[in-house]
Amino acid sequence: MAVFLFVLVAVSGIIIRYVIWDMRVAPAYERMRLMIALREIYYPTYTRLDGLLVGVAIASIFNYRPMLRDRLVKAGNLMLALSIMLLGVAYILFDGSLVSQRFTSLTTAVLGFNIISIAYGLLVIAAMSPRCILSQYRIKPVAILATLAYPIYLTHKMINHLVNTQLQALLDLDVHQLFPISLAGVTICGYALHLSVEKPFLILRDKLNRAKCNMSGNI
């Protein structure tokens, strides 16, 4: 039943993106074509459930299918190789950038997000494999980036919008200057959110869990 549901959601996403592409994106031209593709395929949640679907599928396998989980984990290096290969395919499909006219092609708009989601799902499995080459190295900047990933995700759209509108108009920045400034802005803002909101509540959670464990031990 779960497999059927996963397949249904994945196929539904492909069909929805195809219908939108056929009715709205294909008839448009040049920059307007890209704007419509971004607005109606990239931004709406219901058109891009692929990443969430892959994450839920991995969590389900690791919790409820131990034999399949063990087989996948044992093949960590293979998962890593497949992930790199699919990410390479995605890079070619998107022409190295989401804001590219290549994004408006049928194959990229309809199947590109499935490929990206599967690629990163395989990378997650590889990272959890003790046999994978990834588990043999500890890279501190990567660990910091992983810690800040969620607060960056929550704030990056707002920061990018401010940099590309308000700051760009104020300082007359060109496109080559906008990207590093946006990158620095979202990193700083994500770190601030982590320190002010995420970290204090994680500390509170740990304290409550310890208190709960102590109460259980005393009973």
Each residue's pLDDT tens digit, 123-162: 999 988 998 988 877 778 878 888 898 899 888 888 888 8
CB 89 within 8 A of CB 98: no
Predicted model pTM: 0.76
pLDDT of res. 80: 95
Write out the two tokens for 172: 């007359």
Output the pLDDT for position 219: 58
The pLDDT, as a whole number, for residue 167 is 82
**Residue 27 buriedness (CB in 10 A; 0-12 / 13-18 / 19+):** exposed
Tell me if 79 sits within 8 A of 122, measured CB to CB: yes
Residues in the chain: 219
DSSP 25: I
Q: How far apart are CA 24 and CA 12, in angstroms?
A: 18
Q: In angstroms, rounded to a whole number, what is the distance separating the alpha carbons of residues 49 and 118?
A: 12
Q: Give CA–CA dist 75/131, Å, rounded.
A: 8
Q: What pLDDT is recorded for position 30?
A: 81
Task: Tell me how far apart the alpha carbons of residues 38 and 42 are, in angstroms, rounded to a whole number.
Answer: 5
Structure tokens at 35: 């704007």
Residues of the chain with pLDDT under 50: none
Query: b/e per residue, 101-125, with b = 16+ CB within 10 A?
Result: ebbbbeebbbbbbbbbbbbbbbbeb
Query: Which tokens hold the place of 72?
Result: 């996948």
Res 183: pLDDT:
87
Q: How many CB atoms lie within 10 A of CB 17?
A: 26
**pLDDT at residue 175 in the model:** 67
**Alpha helices, DSSP H only, in 94-198?**
106-127, 140-162, 168-171, 175-193
Angle formed at CA 94 by CA 129 and CA 127, multiple of 5 degrees: 5
Which two three-digit tokens encode residue 201? 């509540």
